[in-house]
Structure 1
Amino acid sequence: MSDGPFLTPSSAIITPNIIRHLLRVADDHGVSLDRALRAASLTRESIDSPALRVSYRQGRLIIEKALGSLPIPALGLEVGQRQPITASGVLGLAMMSSATLLDAVELGMRFQNLAGSMVRWQSGIEGGSVVVTATVPDSASAVGRFLVEEGFANITRMARDVAGIPSPRQVELDFAPDGHARSYADFFDCAIVFSAGRNAWHLPLHTAREPLPTAEPWTLAAMVAALEAETRSVVERQELVAVLAAHVEDALPLIRPLADYARLLATSERTLRRRLIDVGSSYSRVLDDVRKRVASELFATPGLSTAEISYRLGYEDERSLRRSTLRWFGASPAALHGAALRT
Structure 2
Amino acid sequence: MSLVRSAGLQKFRETVEELGGDPVLFARQAGLPTDALDTDDLLISDTALAAVLEIAAVALRCPDLGLRVASAQDLSLLGPLAVAIQHSPSVGDALECTSRYMFVHARDMHIALLDDPEDVAGVKAVRYVFGAGVRPLPQATDMTMLFLHRAVTFLTGGGYGLRSVDLPHEPAAPHRRYADAFGAAVRFGRPDAQLRVPATLLGRPLEGVDANLRGLALAFLSRQAPGPGTVVASRVRAVLAQALGTGPTDLAGVARVLAVHPRTLQRELADEGQSFAEILDGLRRSRARTYLTTTDMPLAQVSHLLGFAEQAVLSRCARRWWGTSPSALRGAARDRRV
Q: TM-score range by the shorter chain?
A: 0.5 to 0.7
Q: Post-superposition shift, 1:82?
A: 1.5
TM-score (norm 1): 0.63
Partner amino acid for 1:265? Answer: E
Q: Post-superposition shift, 1:189?
A: 1.5
1:70 aligns with 2:60: yes
1:190 aligns with 2:184: yes
Report if aligned partners of 1:119, 1:148 keep a CA contact under 8 Å in 2.
no
Partner amino acid for 1:245? Answer: L
- Give the secondary structure class of the aligned counterpart of 2:12: helix
Report if aligned partners of 1:99, 1:216 keep a CA contact under 8 Å in 2.
no
- Give the secondary structure class of the aligned counterpart of 1:17: helix
Alpha-carbon distance between aligned partners in 1 of 2:28 and 2:203, rounded to the nearest angstrom? 45
2:215 matched residue in structure 1: 221
TM-score (norm 2): 0.64
Report if aligned partners of 1:101, 1:209 keep a CA contact under 8 Å in 2.
yes
Alpha-carbon distance between aligned partners in 2 of 1:263 and 1:80, rounded to the nearest angstrom? 37
Query: What are the equivalent positions in structure 2 for 1:180-329 lying under 5 Å apart?
Result: 180-232=174-226, 237-240=234-237, 245=251, 249=262, 264-265=277-278, 271=284, 274=287
- Give the secondary structure class of the aligned counterpart of 1:30: coil
Aligned alpha-carbon RMSD (Å)? 3.8
Tell me how many residue pairs correspond in the alignment: 259
Q: Post-superposition shift, 1:158?
A: 1.2
1:328 matched residue in structure 2: none
1:106 aligns with 2:96: yes
Q: Post-superposition shift, 1:84?
A: 1.3
1:120–1:67: structure 2 CA closer, same or farther, 3 Å change rule? farther
Deviation string, structure 1 residues 26-80 (Cα, Å, up to 9, x no partner): 1221211213333555444354445421122331332232122233232221112
Report if aligned partners of 2:122, 2:199 keep a CA contact under 8 Å in 1.
yes
1:134 matched residue in structure 2: 128
2:258 matched residue in structure 1: none
- Give the secondary structure class of the aligned counterpart of 1:215: coil
74-83 or 231-240, which moves further after superposition? 231-240
Alpha-carbon distance between aligned partners in 2 of 1:264 and 1:211, rounded to the nearest angstrom? 49
Q: Determine which structure has greater relative contact order: mean sequence separation of CA pairs < 8 Å that are 6+ residues apart, divided by chain length.
A: 1
1:154–1:231: structure 2 CA closer, same or farther, 3 Å change rule? same
Q: Post-superposition shift, 1:15?
A: 0.6
Partner amino acid for 1:148? Answer: T
Alpha-carbon distance between aligned partners in 2 of 1:130 and 1:263, rounded to the nearest angstrom? 44
Report if aligned partners of 1:139, 1:145 keep a CA contact under 8 Å in 2.
no
1:97 matched residue in structure 2: 87
2:156 matched residue in structure 1: 163
Residue 5 of structure 2: which of 4, 15, 29 is its match?
A: 15
1:51–1:179: structure 2 CA closer, same or farther, 3 Å change rule? closer
Partner amino acid for 2:154? Answer: D
Residue 121 of structure 1: which of 111, 125, 144 is its match?
A: 111
Partner amino acid for 2:163? Answer: R
1:46–1:16: structure 2 CA closer, same or farther, 3 Å change rule? closer
Alpha-carbon distance between aligned partners in 1 of 2:16 and 2:172, rounded to the nearest angstrom? 22
Report if aligned partners of 2:167, 2:188 keep a CA contact under 8 Å in 1.
yes
Q: Post-superposition shift, 1:178?
A: 5.5
Alpha-carbon distance between aligned partners in 1 of 2:286 and 2:38, rounded to the nearest angstrom? 21
Partner amino acid for 2:235? Answer: Q
2:167 matched residue in structure 1: 173
Alpha-carbon distance between aligned partners in 2 of 1:34 and 1:60, rounded to the nearest angstrom? 15
Residue 70 of structure 2: which of 76, 80, 98 is its match?
A: 80
- Give the secondary structure class of the aligned counterpart of 1:111: helix
Alpha-carbon distance between aligned partners in 2 of 1:198 and 1:266, rounded to the nearest angstrom? 38
Partner amino acid for 1:63? Answer: L
Alpha-carbon distance between aligned partners in 2 of 1:73 and 1:39, rounded to the nearest angstrom? 18
1:57 matched residue in structure 2: 47
Residue 37 of structure 1: which of 27, 30, 35 is its match?
A: 27
Taking only the aligned residue pairs, the percentage that are identical comes to 19
1:3 matched residue in structure 2: none
